[in-house]
Each structure stands twice: as structure tokens, then as C-alpha cells.
Amino acid sequence: MAFDLREQLDGRRVGFFTDTSICIGCKACEVACKEWNAVPDDGMEFTGMSYDNTAGLGADTWRHVAFVEQRRPLGHQEPGVGDMDFRWLMASDVCKHCTHAACLDVCPTGSLFRTEFGTVVVQEDVCNGCGYCVPACPFGVIGKRESSGTAAKCTMCYDRLGAGQEPACAKTCPTDSIQFGDLDELRERAERRLAQLHEAGTTSARLYGHDTGDGVGGTGAFFLLLDEPEVYGLPPDPVVTTRDLPAMWRHVGVAALGLLAGVAALTWKGRRR
Amino acid sequence: MDLAWPLLRQLTGADRTARGPAAKSARTETLKARTATADRVVKSVCPYCAVGCGQNVYVRDEKVIQIEGDPDSPISLGRLCPKGAASLQLTTGPGRMHKALYRPPGGADWQEIDLATAMDMIADRIIATRRATWEQEKDGRRTSRTMGIASLGGATLDNEENYLIKKLLTALGVVQIENQARVCHSSTVVGLGTSFGRGGATTFMQDLQHADCIVIQGSNFAECHPVGFQWVMEAKARGAVVIHVDPRFTRTSALADLHVPIRAGSDVAFLGAIINHVLENELYFHEYVLNYTNAATILREDFRDAEDLDGLFSGFAEESRTYDTDSWQYEGMSTVAASGDRDEDFDRREGRTPPGRPEVQGSAGMPLDGVPERDETLRHPRCVLQVLRRHFARYTPEMVERVCGVPRHLFEQVCRHLTENSGPDKTSEFVYAVGWTQHSDGSQFIRTASILQLLLGNIGRPGGGIQALRGHASIQGSSDIPTLFNLLPGYIPMPHAHENERLRDFLLADAPHKGFWANMPAYLISLLKAWWGDSAQPDNDFRFGWLPRLTGSHSTYDTVLAQLEGTCKGYILLGENPAVGSANAKMQRLGMANLDWLVVRDFSLIESATWWKDGPEIETGELKTEDIRTEVFFLPAASHTEKNGSFTNTNRLLQWHHQAVEPQGDARSDLWFMYHLGRIIREKLAGSTDPMDAPVLDLTWDYPTEGETEEPSAEAVLAEINGWDERGRPLPGYHALKDDGSTACGCWIYCGVYADGVNQAARRKPASEQNWISAEWAWAWPANRRILYNRASAKPDGTPWSERKRLVWWDAEAQRWTGYDVPDFEADKSPGYRPPPGAQGVEALSGIDPFIMQADGKGWLFAPNGVVDGPLPTHYEPQDSPVANPLYGRQRSPVRKVYPHEHNRYQPSGDEPGSSVYPYVVTTYRLTEHFTAGGMSRFTPYLSELQPEMFCEVSPALAAERGLVHGDWATIITARNAIEARVLVTDRIPSLRLNGRVLHQIGLPFHFGPNGLVTGDAANELSSISLDPNSHIQEVKALSADIRPGRRPRGPALPELVRSYQRRAGIDARTGTEV
């Protein structure tokens, strides 16, 4: 069921490049997102997961900063922590705005739609709260908000984009870890940054969501990570959950045709009789 | 055609799968960004830390609908940290109070009160307390003051508000005027002021990008000043080496090239060893050091160093615990002039330490007379460089291992990076914050870095300098226009009580005769004219006699003691929460419980407003609500979006924030509060012939008001701060000030901020339209200079040290200093100028004296004056430390200030018996997600959810040793109190190996308290009142404690636990108070 996004968008697809190698874990993105989108607080729970008390993306958290403490080296850093290698990774996660977005595929009401910017947005006034999109997302991004009964997730600040303004998280990010812009341009920038990091000895650096050949056709929000995606709570090989839908429909079609043919044959036979 | 039905659109349009435009709802079609539909955008400044990020405030229908970063700001480039990003919720959210409240004596709960009634009652209380406690004389010396009233707060307020607080309260005879600047950075003023001449950061945020090496020590830059940290990242991207020296591996360390774990409180030993390395290997910047520092100056023969006296300097008087600084002077120079001596005499007679005289250093050099002898070869055994060499000789890499727990290879890396990146072509910058300031010898931490940066030639140059990161929006401003007991605006010292002292005597004694401070008469007389107008005349000493007098230290901690003793009866808190944020929080509350009346002005019901009803002592039974006689007034404060005014950021930059909307309900600005309080008091006192009322009645207090609430004009106050000439014309700068009474100026260092009648602090030429200095963005003191002492960016002959590090240079053709920045030097004084014999004032400074506020024009490697605990930094252990001082026989600073009290017990240290009862080092700190004592974050949902509980950080080794479980509770105990916290076991707080033992450290954020959306015990329950003798700053960055698993006991069992520890450790009133 894939379609040519590029053609539809006339090359205007925008996205996020989140360079986690310069993230300082300040969580300004989480707060700026909530302020702009009036997302309610997500509970005052102490998790004990390093400095991460937000735990993950959901209906009430559209940007989430993961904190990973690791006993392994970061290229060219002398961590000084005892006699061991140590590094503290931080990464701001967000809706991936997939090229092949399962949430969009399964939405029965047309609440989820692909915007003119190539992003995927929930329309709260249309959503009937069926919740199909929640398990459909291969990243576990989307959630259903208890108070409203509707699905909610990052809109890439759809309203701001319309006014020619960048999303709130990218605007506030103190170190430019979150970069917003033309997706093609961001992909080039990310490749340059990756090469730079590799050259500097940070060999664990890699891009995630960058490959348009992956299971979701590449993501509109992609990342530079310093470790395996699983370390950050990201699926290593995400696949659009509706991938097999066309095949399934084909099979259904074939089966239905077969059935029809059978019924027709039987009917025809019956008539003859 | 745009069809209404989605299905029709799907069937007739291109979007056949209806996942695109066909699915758009009517609401989606009409969606508009509220930033695009706002009625107006108001320019503002973030109210949290002192980086001073620009904010755009979007207003629609007279309501603030969005606050975000201002991309035009050269400092922040439109970015905001989580706190700045939460400004909308802070100012418009559910945490704000909008109703005035009153609690009568013994009352069980609040009552609502009419704002006007509350103001009237407060005015009555002030008048009555003032009458009852008025002290015209003390010990036969005129003091003209009341010790019955105190105020605390100002760092979160505007400069104009601080100005009115200081002006009104001083006229009322109140001397106990203090603010957070005492608690955070007062030792900065001493350390930097003594070394360079001015007590502020020597550089500005954006210049970090030019550094080749950045050492962040005593600061968690990325967490506490995230938006400023972008300039570290910029430097790193340009190839700079970033080093973080800190007990913990923090979010700053995570981005650094090198993290050096260090024992909290041992930084002088670490930096001292780098100095030793630089001197022994001749790695200092010879031409810079020879010409721009006092390295060549010869000291007196009778000077004895800590090296000779096992940790003491010559001149120590055991009984008074003070130094006589005579022997520290330059050879051939006279010592501090008459009045200084008289002050010292007075204080010795009182049995007190000198009352914070070093804070004179805020912007001043100390008085010096004569011409110092020099040895240009730097070989004379008594020249400063050689004295320095001997002093630091024992600060070896081995000592660093033993004292700091820093492995040799890490120490050597720091030395290498620093020295390789300093010199004519390269510069290194130091960045610090309260990790250095808050020690019982905090001023000396900063002195050590100052010495090192002078030796490396890094002061006054691009990418160099010392960046002091301050943590409140205008804490620099509340030092400059000081709501501090010992200063008048612009770092003019508050006068001390003397017999028959006249203005002339004061000026003779306290004004240096060389350098720019020689003009102090003009600065002070202009201030007196601003305050008392026509009433101030030459024949009445310009009303100098109306200033109340000091008789020792009246710092906020002395005030707490005075409250407990019952002499201080009324207390005004202005945006400050000492029940959580000041050392020994319990003493703070017990002091307040002994007051007659208390006024709290804040956004929310902070702990300092409600301790009488739900404070920790109510829970333990130590206080009973019905027995507490304190009357409490709570007045809701206006936010930064609801008032006009200026903040001074951490780099001396005054930025104006414009009012966006009117405050709701009873919320009012502190400008409104002080102005109307003064107005009401003056109305009530009108007609009084009592001489004590004259200073209030004659005070210039006629500011225009506007609007329904009669808000005074902040711009009118700024105009007074700037000053005017006899015809009322705004002054162009402090050079125009006169000592004949023809000019008035509220704060001489701010003179020029209203030049030409234009609010220069409101200038907002976008960063993209200027060079990197951005001189037309707001206004910096002094004279809009951004890098101080920038004459030092050129060689003695006036040419740049290198093309790469060019900043300010001598244009021989034009016969003027020129460059990117405003020269911090007389524009037409040629490099070849040498003062004629007997020259005074500015004339006495030569063309190669870049430190123009210093009497000798030099950077002070050795401080003959201005630091009361030693002319050179010396490592002493913190007041409470499990480590014995390996460097000297003296365990603690011999001149630190201790306050023995039942609730302020000290602990045995080092090898003393009982020391092992408190075996771990505790350090306290901030988190990105919270702000200081929590008043601006724990009531804000978006910030609260990010760090919802008080926790302690411990290493896996400590967790194993004490059976602490990750995520469970632990109890931390000192001789003062015990608190509980959730346990985070983490490699980020490594245990250290030092002197043959393993030392564990415990990390505690200090933001929590019992009120708000997220609560927890305050770390300051654990800290003691033990102070730096220079600045009266408290030691909260290094203490010792025990930790054990489980929650703390409730009720009376809590104080009993603390006492049981005291008994085990054998603690009595004398413990830890030894010299």
C-alpha cells in the first residue's frame, strides 16, 4: 500500500534530525513541547532510571529524553570515573513521522492524516478513540489520553509549521541537538556529522531512521545514536505493522474470487440441473 | 474546489486513499499558531538563572498566551532551557497565588486580608518596631539605626526594585539588608575583585566560543546554565578541549573531553598544584606576567608565609582569630589608611572579626600609598613571583593524589591541556559557580584560579578570563545595587560607626588615591544627592550622617542569630526562601518563629511562609503553632511579564524586560510594594520632628505612577540610577560625576545606562546584525565593556599579542585605543605613558597598567590587602571533613567564622576522635529541572514531573558498604539534622582513593522542601552555619555525614536520632570551633 510520498508532497517533506551526541539531557524539548501543545503533565513518579522520570513517549509525553549510564568508553573522552570506562548517553525521542505510517493506515476515521509537510498528525476532533493506532505503531509512540479519550502524539507542531515557525522542541534546544528542516538537507547534514564523529574516534555513532529502505521506509524524525537502538529503547528493525496488509488483501481478494468462482460454478451447476 | 465532505474530497480529488488532504477536518483547516495571531509580542528576559536569555512574550486579549526564546538575543539565540521553556506555566499556571493572606499571632490558619489593609499594617509594624528598637548610639559611637528589622531578597528582582529596597530601608535605618548574593557569590566579589579590581566575571558568555581550552570546575555548567553551555559546545565544535573537574560525572562531564573526579572542597590543592607546575616548569607567560601582574613587586621583610608557619601567615592573632595585614604589604608602601585601622580597632574591641571589609573589592582596589619596589628580573627572593614559587612548592602531583583523590595521569593531562592552550596565540578560560564559592574559604578558591589565569596570561583576552556563573536573573544586579548590608550602590563601602566621623574622614580613609577609585568622592556624593536631593548640601556633609552605621557583621546569618536572641523582630522576605535555601534550614525557621512579624512576598506559599503551620518542627513537636507569636503577611508577587525593569545578567549586562500584562488580583511588583510602603510610612510620619525621621521624610520619593494599581515607573527609577546633572539632564557616564553636589547618581557603575535619556538596557539590535561582541544589545557595566581588562589583550607596546587573539589595540595614528570591544582603558592614554612622580588618581596609572581599578594597575598574584584569610590561597579542610589536612598542621581555616549554638553543632574532623561517626563527604547541587529553593519549580507541573523526588546519589561501593538499595530510601545524618532521600546508586559519583583509603561521597540536590507539587526533605537541614570570613558565605558544598538505609524517624524520634549521633561522636559546644 505504499505510495510515493515525495510525489505527493512536491519535495516539501520536513523532519527532525536529533543528534544525540550533543544532547545535554536538559529536557527543554519536553517542556517546550508541553507548553506549546498544552499537553498535561504525565504524573510525578520517581522512576530511579537515571535522570529519566518521564519513562517513555505516550499520549502525555511527546518528547522524551532517555538517560543511559554505561560502563563503556565514549570515543576520545577520558571519563575519569574510577578505573573503568564510563559514559552517560542522552537522547531525545519523538514520533518518527514514518514514511510508511501504520497508525495512519489503520485509522478508520481519518483522524490521522498525512499533512502537506509530510508529517503525520492526529485530528482530535475526528478521533473516536478506537485506539487501533496505539498497537499499530512499531515504536510505541502514540497513546490514548485518559482525560479526552482520544489518541495523542507529536504533531511536529503542525500549527507552527503553517505559520512558518519551527517546532517548539527544535526552537528551544540549547545545543541544537534537535534540528528541524528540509528532510533531504537534514539527511545530508547527518551524514556529514556521522563522518566527523567516526573520524574523531566515536566509532559507535550511527544513524537511525535514516535508511529509506528500512521497514518503515525511513523516518521523518531520525537520529544520530551512539549505541545500538535497543539501548535507547528503540526497536532495532522497525517494520510498519501494516506491511503485509496489501498481501493480505491480495490473498483475501484471491480467496474471495475463488469463493465467488466456486459459488458461481455451483450456482451455474445448479441451474443446469 | 474545496468540498466539504471528506468522502467527496476523497472521490473527486487526488488523495484517493484519504490519508492526506482529503482527511483534513474543518478544525485542522482553520488551525493557526497562536504565535501568529497574538495581538503583540513583548520583549522580555528569562527570570530564572543569570545567563539572561531573551524571551518573546506573546499577548492576546491582555493575556500571555506563549513565551519562547528571542532569536535576536546574542546570548541565547532563541533557545531556552526547561525552566525558561516553562515560563508560561510559571507566570500563568496553577502555582501562582493572587490573594493577600494574614496569619495573626498564634493563629492556626491563614485569613484573607485586603491588600491596602495589609500594607497599612505592615507600615505600622515597621514604624513601631523602628521606634522601639532605635539605636542612636552604640558604645558611644553614633549608629543611627534599627537592629530590629531585617530584609532578605533581591536576586530574583529587578535592579530598580533593589534600588528602592536599599534606598528606603537605609533611610529607615535598617542595616540588615541582604539577598541571595550573600549566599551564592559573595566570595566571587572578594576573589575576583581583589585579584583584578572588579568583582564580576571578567568576560561574557559568547566569548567562550573563542577559547582553546575550557576548564569547568566548581560548576555544573550544562545542567545549571544550559543555554550558556551552547557556547562551550560551539568552542568544542571549533576544536577546543573541554575539561570538567567535579566530584560527580554530570551532564557537563558527559559532553566534556575529560572528567576529573575530585574530592569536594579540595580545589585549592588541585589548582595550587597546577600553579606549582606552571612555575616550576617556567610555563608562565613571561611578558604578560612581568608587565601586567604584581609578580615583580617586592614584599616586606617581615612577611612570613604559610610555608614558614605551618599553614599560618604572619600577623595572626590567636585570640581574635584575625590577621593583622601590616606584614603582607609591598615594600616601601604605607598600609591601609587611618579609618581602616580604626575600623579594625573597633572590631577587635568588640571581639568580632572585621565586618566584611573585603567586599569593598566588588569593584575596587584597596587603598595603597607610595610606589612599590620592583625587581624586573623576577629573581629577588622577596618578589611576589619567588614568594609564590615557595608558597606553592608543596602542592605537588603526589599531594593532589592524597588531598583531592585525583590520579596523577589525570592531573597531568589537565596541566598539559591548559598550558598548551595558553600563550600569545591561544587562550584558556575557567568557568566556575557555587562549587567554588560556598566554602569556609570560598574566596580563596577563586583567588587560586585568578592567580593561575594571570600566570598563564589569560585575563582580558578573547577566549580567556574567568567566567563566574551566577544563578539568579539579577543576582549580579543585587550585588551592584546591593541589597547587602556592607555595601552602598556601586561597591562603595557602608560606613562604620566612629566617633564624629565626617564625610571627609570617610573618603580619606576609604577612597584609594590611585586608579579609578580615587574618584570615590564624586560617586558617593552623587549617590547622597540622588537619595536626599536638595536636602543634601555641602554644609551638612550631603547628609552622609543619615546613613546608618555598621558595627561588625550584619550578614543574613548574623541576622538569624539576632532573631534567635530576640533583637531582630521584623523580617521582610522578597522572593527568597531561607527555610529551604539557606544553611541550617532549621535555624532559619526557629529564627522566624521568634519574630514579632514576618512579610513574605512570593509567587506561591513557599516553606518560609508556612513553617508555623506545617514546618518540620511542628511535626517533631519542637514548635507548636498556637505558641508561635509571629504575625505573618503573605503578599503575592508580580512576575517578570507583569512589570517593567532590568535584570543584570552574570556578565554585568543590564537587559530590560517590558511589561506584557497587568498582574492579577493582589499580585504586585516589588517596586510597587517598596514605593507604596515608603509612601504610607512617610504619610504616617509626616510632621514628625524626631531627628530619626528626618532621613525618611527628606528622602526623594516622588516617582510617577501609572495605571489602576498606581505602579511606579521603573524607567523613572532607572533614570535616577543613571543620574542627572544640575539641569536634570541624564549623565553620559561615570566620568561626568562631580564631587561638588552638582550631579546626582543612584549607582555610579550604572551611570550611562540612561545616557541621552534613552533606556540603553532596552536596546535590542539583533545579533545577526552585529559582530560577535553585540555592543548594541542591552548595556553592560562598566561603560558597555564586555571583556574586562581588555588592555591586556595587547602587548605592552599596544599591538595585539597575536592576530588570532586580537581584541583591543593602540592605533598609533589616531593616538587612541580601538578594537572590537570598548577599551577598558582611558581611550587616549598611550602605551608609552608613565606617570610623573607624585601622580594621583587615574593619572597615576601607566600605559601598561590594564587593571585600572587597582591602585597599582596590576593583576594581583599576591594580595597585600582585601582578603582577610591570607594573601595567598592555602588549602584548609572544610569545617566538617573526614580527612585530616595533609598539607599543614592547621586542619581548618584559622579565621573562618563559626557560630556555636545548640542547633548549629559542628563535627569532629580528620583524625579527631568521633570523626568516623560522620565518615562520608556530602556535596549539594542543582538540577536542570529545578530552581534554587524550589519556589519557581516545585509549584510548576512541567518541571516538577521531571524530577519528582528528593534523592541522594551514592556509588555502588558505598551502597554495598551501607546496604543501600537503588530506588529505596536512605537517611543522611549530620550533627544538625537528618533527612531522607530516595537512593540512586550510580557510577557517576565515583568513590575516590586518597591517602591509602577509599573515600565515598554523597550527592544531594538542594531544591526540595515540604511544600509544592513535589516534596522532599531539604538538604540544608544538614548544613551548618560556618562562614568564609571575607564574604560571610556559608559552607554547603563540602560537609561530612553518615548514611544508612531506610526512612528517617518521625516526630520526636528525629531530633533524638540526631542527638544520639552527637553523643556517639562526643560532640559538645566546642567541637570543631578550634582555631
Secondary structure (DSSP) of B714-752: HHHHHHHHH-B-TT-PBPSSGGG--SSSS-B-S-GGGTT
CB of B969 less than 8 A from some CB of A: no
Instruction: Please name the residue that has the C-alpha cell 493575556.
Output: B63
Question: What is the model's pLDDT at position B344?
Answer: 39
Nearest CA to CA, how far is A110 from chain B (Å)?
A: 5
* Residues of chain B found within 8 Å of residue A176, distances taken between Cβ atoms: 230, 233
Interface check for B92 against chain A (CB to CB < 8 A): the answer is no
Give residue for cell 534540528.
A179
Buried b (16+ CB within 10 A) or exposed e, A39-58: bbbbebebebbbbbbbebbb
Q: How far apart are CA B973 and CA A37, in angstroms?
A: 44
First CA to last CA distance, chain A: 44
Give the count of alpha carbons within 13 A of A2, CB side only.
17
| pLDDT of the residue at B648 | 98
pLDDT in tens, B576-585: 999 999 999 9
Looking at residue B512, its pLDDT comes to 73
Q: Does B16 touch chain A (CB under 8 A)?
A: no
What pLDDT shows up at residue B368? 67
Q: Which three cell numbers stand for residue B114?
A: 485586603
Q: Considering only CB atoms, which chain B residues are within 8 Å of A168?
A: 68, 85
Out of B82, B948, B991, closest to residue A45 by CB: B948
> Which CA distances in Å does B355 have to B138, B152, B298, B350?
16, 18, 29, 11
Q: Contact at 8 Å (CB) between B448 and B436?
A: no
Determine how many CB atoms are found less than 10 A away from the CB of residue B386.
18
Distance in angstroms (rounded) separating the CA atoms of residues A37 and B89: 12
Give the rounded percent of residues in chain B with a pLDDT score beyond 70. 96
- φ/ψ of B190, rounded to 5, equals -65, -50
Beta-strand relationship, B978-985 and B969-973: antiparallel
Report residues of chain A scoring pLDDT below 50.
1-7
The interface pTM score, or ipTM, of the predicted complex is: 0.95
Instruction: Count interface pairs A-B at CB distance under 8 A.
Output: 222
CB < 8 Å from B in window 156-175 of A: 157-160, 162-163, 165, 168, 171-175
Instruction: Please name the residue of chain A whose CA is at the shortest distance from the CA of residue B81.
Output: A28
Residues counted in chain A: 273
Q: Taking a contact as any Cβ pair under 8 Å apart, which residues of chain A between 48 and 77 contact chain B? A: 48, 50-51, 53-54, 69, 71, 76-77
> Which of A91, A71, A46 has its CA nearest to residue B987?
A71
Distance from CA of A115 to the nearest CA of B (A): 6
The minimum CA-CA distance between B402 and chain A, rounded to whole Å, is 15
B634, three cell numbers: 503573605
Contact A141, A96 (CB under 8 A): yes
What rounded mean pLDDT belongs to chain B? 94
- Our CA angle for B379, B385, B389, nearest 5°, is 100
CA gap B455, B418 in Å, rounded: 11
Other C-beta atoms closer than 10 Å to the C-beta of B604 total: 23
C-beta of residue B469 within 8 angstroms of C-beta of residue B228 = yes
Is B105 buried (19+), middle (13-18) or exposed (0-12) by CB count in 10 A? middle
Query: B962 CB contacts (<8 Å, ≥6 apart)?
Result: B954, B970, B1043, B1044, B1045
3-class secondary structure, B635: strand
Answer whether B226 sits within 8 Å of A28, measured CB to CB.
yes
Pairing mode, strands A14-19 and A221-225: parallel
- Which helix (H) or strand (E) segment holds residue B1042: the answer is strand B1039-1045
Low-confidence ranges of chain B (pLDDT < 70): 1-4, 334-369, 499-500
Beta-carbon contacts of residue A201 (< 8 Å; ≥ 6 apart): A75, A76
Smallest Cα distance from B554 to chain A, Å: 38
Q: Distance from CA of residue A59 to its chain's centroid? A: 14
Report the alpha-carbon distance of residue B243 to residue B230 in Å, rounded: 15
Interface of B with A in 992-1031 (CB under 8 A): 1013-1014
- Name the pairing type of β-strands B897-898 and B1026-1027: antiparallel
Q: Residue B404, Cα to own-chain centre: how many angstroms?
A: 26
Angstrom CA distances, B377 to B384, B385, B717, B832, B862, stand at 12, 10, 53, 20, 17
Q: What is the dihedral of CA B776, B782, B786, B789, to 10 degrees?
A: 150
Strand, coil or helix: B667: coil
pLDDT score, position B970: 98
Q: List, in order, residues 6 or more apart from B16 with CB less than 8 Å away.
A: B10
Report residue A49 CA to chain centroid gap. Answer: 22
Residue B513's pLDDT is what? 74
Residue to mutate among A74, A113, A117, with most B CBs inside 10 A, is A113
Angle at A63 between CA A60 and CA A68, to 5 degrees: 115
Name the DSSP letter for residue B555: -
Please report how the helices B384-391 and B267-280 are oriented relative to each other, as an axis angle in degrees rounded to 10.
120
Which residues from chain A sit within 8 angstroms of residue B205, using beta carbons? none
Distance from CA of A268 to the nearest CA of B (A): 36
CB-CB contact of B104 with B255 (8 Å): no
Let me know the angle formed at the C-alpha of B184 by B180 and B189, rounded to the nearest 5 degrees.
Answer: 105
Q: Check CB contact under 8 Å for B19 and A113.
A: yes
Between the two ends of chain B, the Cα-to-Cα distance in Å is 90
All three cell numbers of B637, joined, read: 508577587
Q: Please report the beta strands in A83-212, taking only residues with DSSP state E, as ranges in sequence order.
A: 87-94, 112-114, 120-122, 143-144, 151-152, 178-182, 206-208
The grid cell for B989 is: 559519583
Cα(A49)–Cα(B982) distance, integer angstroms? 12
**DSSP reduced 3-state for B141:** strand
Q: For residue B570, what is the enclosing H or E element?
A: strand B570-574
Chain-centroid distance of CA B1034 in Å reads 12
Which candidate, B28, B454, B146, places its Cα nearest to that of B278?
B454
> Would you state the pLDDT for residue B352?
34
B778 and B763 Cβ atoms separated by less than 8 Å: yes
Rounded-to-integer distance, Cα B765 and Cα B933, Å: 35
B50 Cβ partners below 8 Å, 6+ apart?
B225, B469, B470, B471, B472, B473, B474, B475, B476, B647, B649, B650
Distances in Å between the Cα of B814 and the Cα atoms of B809, B822, B827, B830, B842 are 11, 16, 11, 11, 21
Residue in the block written with cell 543634601: B536
d(CA B243, CA B430) in angstroms, rounded, equals: 10
Q: How far is CA B170 from the centre of its chain?
A: 21
Read off the C-alpha cell for B191.
576573589
pLDDT of residue B499: 65
Mean pLDDT value across chain A: 92
Is the peptide bond preceding residue B354 cis, with omega within 30 degrees of 0? no
Closest listed residue to residue B820, CA positions, set B838, B835, B800: B800
